[in-house]
Structure 1
Amino acid sequence: MGKEELLEWRKADVKGRAPVADRNLDMPFAYGWYPAMLSADLAVGEVKPLRYFSTDLVIWRGEDGEVRMLDAYCRHLGAHMGYGGRVEGNNLECPFHAWSYNGEGVVESIPYSKSIPPQVKRPCEIQWPTSEANRWIWFWYHPAGTPPEWEVEVVPETTDPEWTDFDIYEWNVFGSLQNMAENGVDAAHFKYIHGAATMPDYEFEWGDIWRSASLKMKMGTPRGEVDGGIAFKNIGPGQSWTRFTGISETLLIACITPIEKDHVHARFCFAQPKKQAEGPMAGISKAIIKDICKQFDQDKVVWDRQKYLPDALVCAGDGPIAKFRKHYAQFYVESDA
């Protein structure tokens, strides 16, 4: 398909896919830090609507430069504050009756009333803490509103002036985040989906809330084979990056956030050293990014229709799928996860 057709396909709905229950995707959402949007896309005094984790949300940047996020619906008469809401100081004003909310969801003023109902003088039960790192706004999701248990990890290349600005690609994936994450430990699929000549031999490390892997390989170029490598790290279920070395050094920040239980918003942010991306190696640098996106396209065809099998039949050569699932399960709160 052509370039424009491909871009449309990456974000278009998938017709005729099986319901959530039929695909065993009616699972809890995993808690952790998740990307909302680029920091540059939310100016001081700006308000925007979002929808993630089956929840309508509103996000704004106060006059102090800090980002705040709440459930979108005003506790008064249910107006969606992401549409027409206004920033006054550091608070958000509802567009309907100008109730003024702070970042915890406490109503601090009602301009036409001498009193504030006591129910809205208390913070909202579910909080959405935010953080800015790696040129992105991140938010903490926890179904019980529990405060963050760790911080977003900083990736230094994202703000290094010797590296390029992000080159961003976007998809809608109609599957679950866990199925997508499991792909990273599934060694066998690289040969049969992506056409790798051999099975990759990853070296995995498992931490308390993180997991990482590295792979060394021979990579073909017009000048012959060169030593190359791939290394990735995940912190919790929502923060992930990959470094590619060899032909052209490339950093991929994978910004992947659930919208619904069968719908994930995926954004790939690529950065490369300027001396490679803007020099004689520019063509190869672009080709690396194009190939990585092609592989994601190939995976998307499976993910859009994949069923989660809790008792999957795995065999030698599949990679540490059982270990991955045990590690990932710690980020579910519900006992039946």
Structure 2
Amino acid sequence: MSEIDPAADARTAPVAVWKMLSELKGDALADWRVAEVANRPSPEERGIDLPFPLGWFAVGYSDELPKGEARPIRYFGRELVMWRGEDGQVRVLDAYCRHLGAHMGHGGRVVGDLLECPFHAWRYDGSGVVREIPYARAIPPQVKRPCPQQWAVEEANGFIWTWYHPHGVAPKWALDHYPEASDPAWTPYQRHEWFVYSPLQSMAENGVDNAHFQFVHGTASFPDAKIAWDGHRRTGVVAARMGTPAGEVDGRIVNGQNGPGQAYTRFEGISETLLVAAITPVDRDRVHARFAFTQPRAQAEGPGAGLARALIRDICKQFDQDKVIWDRQAYLPNAIICDGDGPIIRFRRYYDQFYAERTDEPTVRSA
């Protein structure tokens, strides 16, 4: 009887990442997903001190920010504050008050649609214009102008999104809207989150790295994906035979990327599932990843509920396995690629368009 090659056996954990995760269950796994990675090399040493890519990025779930509430957030290497006015609209500003630098996300309050600084009660609108100073006869002319960095904000698919561009350029494309996210026949989101100590580009590149699926995730073969590139969009379709307790079924995995920060994956075959992936850079070597899953209630709450839950667990497990690599991976701009790796070089050319520092002239006024 011939020996089975462990690297080709989907039942065998072929690399160390599986062993590292094998003891993490329940709360311990959830804590690990968001824990600081201690003693990691600097972004410069790892070559991951890349610019932040431009695009739409999630800064929170819509239902986590009620009317009249302000909260601090940190993304794109900046301290920010977001609040929802009494009109229901969300606004985002750089967090430091233009008066004496108080952080308005800590102790600031919402008055009508304005944000009030906790230090001297200066009140800001969503463009950063100071509208009221309770103790002053006149508002200084410098703060009657909008802030240099504007943060366009929209809500879609149950998320709050803001547009990031280092030079203050207005949004170049629209957000995608997924009908399943608001369809009462589909479940509320099942939510998972991670902090990954990697640049967003390395994480996104994983999707076209065909060879890693076998050696990190234990698939029996490399996926055969059809990838299309169209401006800021990338789409892919993977057709596969999927094993179930009732035998093999035909399945498809359809994914799309709308710029670097908004992505989706639709799983078809075993259990219909929409994954909304919202991936937002925090610092040069830290990314906040949110996975939001929704499934048809008839499947998720019916006889196929076990399969539906198992699919989500498996997707999250694969992300955990990738995180083990990403957290300490270096970025090699002149990577040596061989046949079978997938279209990594093509992906890097596609992704380069999102680095405005390399393609645009600055347009933001100085503060």
- TM-score interval for Structure 1 and Structure 2 normalised by the shorter chain: over 0.9
Corresponding position: 1:58 with 2:89 = no
Deviations 1:119-169 (A, max 9, x none): 111100011110000011000011111111111110111001100000001
Unaligned runs of 5+ in 1: none
* CA distance in structure 2 between the aligned counterparts of 1:285 and 1:31, rounded to whole angstroms: 34
CA contact (8 A) 2:353 2:359 kept: no
* CA distance in structure 1 between the aligned counterparts of 2:327 and 2:169, rounded to whole angstroms: 31
Letter in 2 for 1:206: W
* CA distance in structure 2 between the aligned counterparts of 1:269 and 1:220, rounded to whole angstroms: 24
2:47 is aligned to: 24
Task: Say which SS state the counterpart of residue 354 (structure 2) adopts.
Answer: coil
Pick from 97, 103, 127: which aligns with 2:126? 103
Aligned-pair CA distance for 1:96? 0.8
Corresponding position: 1:228 with 2:233 = no
Deviations 1:303-335 (A, max 9, x none): 000000000111111111111111111010113
Q: TM-score, normalised by structure 1?
A: 0.98
1:78 is aligned to: 101
Mapping 1:182-201, distance limit 5 Å: 182-201=205-224
Deviates more, 1:144-153 or 1:65-74: 144-153
Corresponding position: 1:243 with 2:266 = yes
* CA distance in structure 1 between the aligned counterparts of 2:231 and 2:359, rounded to whole angstroms: 21
* CA distance in structure 2 between the aligned counterparts of 1:49 and 1:4, rounded to whole angstroms: 25
Unaligned runs of 5+ in 2: 1-22, 361-367
Structure 1 runs of 4+ aligned residues shifted over 6 Å read none
* CA distance in structure 2 between the aligned counterparts of 1:336 and 1:62, rounded to whole angstroms: 36
* CA distance in structure 1 between the aligned counterparts of 2:154 and 2:174, rounded to whole angstroms: 8
The percentage of aligned residue pairs carrying the same residue is 57
Corresponding position: 1:313 with 2:336 = yes
Mapping 1:33-72, distance limit 5 Å: 33-72=56-95
2:10 is aligned to: none
Aligned-pair CA distance for 1:90? 1.1
Q: TM-score, normalised by structure 2?
A: 0.91
Aligned CA-pair RMSD: 1.0
Task: Say which SS state the counterpart of residue 334 (structure 1) adopts.
Answer: helix
Letter in 2 for 1:40: D
Task: Say which SS state the counterpart of residue 73 (structure 1) adopts.
Answer: coil
1:259 is aligned to: 282
Letter in 2 for 1:306: Q
Task: Say which SS state the counterpart of residue 193 (structure 1) adopts.
Answer: helix
* CA distance in structure 1 between the aligned counterparts of 2:114 and 2:339, rounded to whole angstroms: 56
* CA distance in structure 1 between the aligned counterparts of 2:210 and 2:313, rounded to whole angstroms: 21
Q: How many residues align?
A: 337
2:347 is aligned to: 324
Task: Say which SS state the counterpart of residue 35 (structure 1) adopts.
Answer: strand
Deviations 1:249-299 (A, max 9, x none): 111001111111100111110000000000010011000000000000000
